[in-house]
Amino acid sequence: MSTLAGRRVVVTGAGGGGLGKNIALTCARAGAELIISDIAEEGLQETLKAVEAIGGKVEAKVMDLGDPESIAAFGKSIEGPLHGLVNNGAIATGIGGIGFEEIPIESWDKVMTVNVRGTWLLIRALAPQLRASGSGRIVNLASDTALWGAPNLMSYISSKGAVMAMTRGLARELGPDRVGVAAIAPGILTTPSTEYVPEARHTLYETQRAVPGPQGTEEVADVAAYLLTEAAITLTGQTLPVDHGFVFN
C-alpha cells in the first residue's frame, strides 16, 4: 500500500468499532498522523487506544455531524495544513426494513441532516486546511445500495446517492486547488452495524458477488487509504464500488 507518511488525516465515525476504526488503523499503519472523531466518546477513546497501541500518532475530538456549531468548532480546532478527510460518519442503523411510504418524516430528515448536510458542512469547514496542504484528498463513504437500488432502505440510499453527486461536484470545484475528491461504495460488511440486516440480504450479497462469501472491513480500508495518497488525484470525482463485485459501476 502507498505510504501516508507525513500526511495529516481526519477520519469521522471512528468510534463505532467497524469500518471507521479499521480505516483509522490502516492509515496509522501507513504512517498518517490522525485526527479521529465521533459523537460517541467512549467508542472514540477505544479507537484512540487501538491506534496508539500500534504506535500511531492520533488525537480524538468528539463531534456531532447533526450540529452545525459542533462541526464549525471541530474545523476551527484543526490548525495548519490537512492532507486527508475520510467522511465515514453517518446514520446507517435503525432506518431500514420498511417501505418508502412508512418512513417517518422525522427519521428521513435526521438521515439527510447527518449523512448529507453533515458531510457538506464538514468539507466546507476543512476546505481551507485541505487547500493549504497542496495535495488534499477527500474520501466520501457512499454505499453500493444506492447503485443497485436496495429496497426498504429509501432514506439511506437517497442520502448516499446525494453523497455520490456531491463527490462529482466537489471534484470540479476543488480540483483547481489540487484537492482530490472520491467516494467508495461498500456493500454489506461483517461489522456490528450490519447485525440488524436480515439474513436474506446477507445471503444475497454472499452468493451474488463475483467473489462469493462475506466481506470484512480490511480491504475497504485499504482502498480508502490509497485514495488519501498523492497518486490518487487521478481518481478524483469517481465512485468506486468496493464490494467484491456485487455491483459493476
Give the active site residues.
Answer: 156
Return the sign of the alpha-carbon dihedral for residues 245, 223, 67, 36.
Answer: positive
Task: Give CA separation, 210 vs 176, 207, 228, in Å.
Answer: 37, 8, 26
Neighbours of 134 (CB within 10 A): 12
Beta bridge partners, 184, equal 141, 240
Question: CA-CA distance, 49 to 58, in Å (whole number)?
Answer: 9
Give the residue from 231, 56, 57, 239 showing the smallest Cα distance to 135: 231
Residue 168's contacts (CB-CB under 8 Å, 6 or more residues apart) are 237
Q: What secondary structure does DSSP assign to 165-221, as a single string?
A: HHHHHHHHHHGGGT-EEEEEEE---SSGGGTTS-HHHHHHHHHHSSS-S---SHHHH
Question: CA-CA distance, 182 to 208, in Å (whole number)?
Answer: 26
Task: Give CA separation, 157 vs 142, 147, 216, 239, in Å.
Answer: 9, 8, 21, 14
